[in-house]
Amino acid sequence: MTSYVERTTHDDDLFIRMDRAFGVPVLSQAIWRLTEPLSAAELERIGRRLLESPISRRLHRSRLPFVRDHWTAAGDAAGRTHLDPPLADDEILDWIERAADVRFDLANGPVWELRAAPLASGGGMVTLCSSHAVGDGWLGGRAIMQATAPDDTLADAYAPATPSLSDNVRDALGQLRSIGAGLAGLVRDGRATRHEVPAAEFVAPVTSLSTPRPPEPSSDEMARENPIRTPLTIVAIPGDDWRATFANAGGTSNALFVAIVIGLIVESGRATWEDRVRVSVPMSLRPVEDTRANSTTGLTLDVPAALSRDRDLAAIRTLAKDAYRAAGEKSSRLLRLQPLMQALPDAAVNALSRNAATPLALASNGGVVDPGFAGLGEPSRVETFASRATTQGVSRERLIRLRGGLAAWFHDTGHTTTLAVSGLDPVAFPTSHELATSVEKECARWGLTAQKW
């Protein structure tokens, strides 16, 4: 296979900066509950094969202006495996949280960790934690599918090339062209906006920026802040009940998921049923053989909360279809600026991001999970699967400054669907228990019984 240079994408750069410049790395976590435990031999085999996958990468910083950083294979330093003692059912969530406390090193490794534990009640748990910088959920899923395939030979081990001087010159020139095109696009956008007539009926949606930013803390105050684990709850819902609920409401699985997220935002007090709520929806841009670490775009849905209240999933479905259809037709200010932001030093990005906010509501729909993936190579042992992303090292005070609401992830393994919800508003969701209560209440509003993990 011909080697190629794997440059960092704009999304890679975001997660790298969060780790390197902001000190709050983002971790991806995939979680399997199986009807039988993973053996030590299976765990070792999957871990060994993951070492050859695209998530096993190492970051190399560029010292040349406008030249992007690049990735190379990390080899044996990329990851490690652990087999833990048996767990009681009421220890599962804590085990998941403790697994996500692991710290990674993008330059030297490790960048992922695979853990497994049998359950005292029968079955087993498995979790793969990885730095979000080395791979989004779609790339991680592909890595697992490769690592659990029956054939013990990986056809194409991840092996990008080290760039030459001419490669770097070409990349710098390409980035300069992209920066120029982005700035020119901003000028054109500004001219077009001046001639637009705002619609009289337009009502701004509720977003995280609708909440005023708290006063900037002093250096001493920030030094006294302590990192916390963001509240987390994972619930299982019978798959047949989930499908019957969205079908009876004239919608889709995604529409029901979005409606539940909106209901949680209203329940938290961040919006009312009369508001339009902005929901951020990740969407993969990844071709089948794409090995870029992060290749995702974020769509925004501005949904009248009343549609969730009135269970009008057909209208939510239409809004979502329109948003997906329009994806890529317009270039936002952020997209225009991404090449320039990637070229700036950490200090400049840190200063420009001082007023940044996380989404009010993020709804990441993993959809129907492949049985081979959900069973780690053995479909007969599928029970449930969940995933999430979490920010490490963040304090309660910083979460308040970021003004986020919640992030949710959905997966369907057929017999069971799962919702994983992370509370990003420490006032609305101060603990995992209170977050779980809110999720159970919102599911009950739809006639769904949510069983906590």
Domain extent listing, the chain: 8-153+163-173, 206-452
pLDDT at 152: 63
pLDDT at 329: 61
Hey, what CATH class is 206-452 in?
Answer: alpha beta
pLDDT at 1: 44
* Spatial distance between the Cα atoms of 125 and 381, rounded to a whole number of angstroms: 11
pLDDT digits (tens, 9 = 90+) for 138-175: 999 999 999 999 876 555 789 999 999 999 999 999 99
Q: Would 8-153+163-173 and 206-452 be classified into the same CATH topology? A: yes
Q: Where do we find the tokens 């509720």? A: 206
Is the CB of residue 113 less than 8 Å from the CB of residue 102?
yes
Count CB-CB contacts under 10 A for residue 230: 24
Hey, what CATH class is 8-153+163-173 in?
Answer: alpha beta
Q: Where do we find the tokens 């329009």? A: 326
* Spatial distance between the Cα atoms of 7 and 61, rounded to a whole number of angstroms: 10
* Spatial distance between the Cα atoms of 262 and 273, rounded to a whole number of angstroms: 9
pLDDT at 350: 87
* Spatial distance between the Cα atoms of 302 and 299, rounded to a whole number of angstroms: 10
pLDDT digits (tens, 9 = 90+) for 342-392: 999 999 998 888 888 999 999 999 999 999 999 999 999 999 999 999 999
Render 394-450 in DSSP notation, one character per residue: -BHHHHHHHT--EEEEEEE-SSEEEEEEEE--TTT--SHHHHHHHHHHHHHHTT-PP
- Residues in the chain with pLDDT < 70? 1-2, 152-155, 195-202, 328-331
Is the CB of residue 279 less than 8 Å from the CB of residue 363?
yes
pLDDT at 190: 85
Q: What are the Cα distances from residue 370, in Å, to 377, 386, 412?
A: 10, 13, 9
198 cis-preceded (ω within 30 degrees of 0): no
pLDDT at 330: 59
Which residue spans within 193-295 are E strands per DSSP? 232-238, 276-284
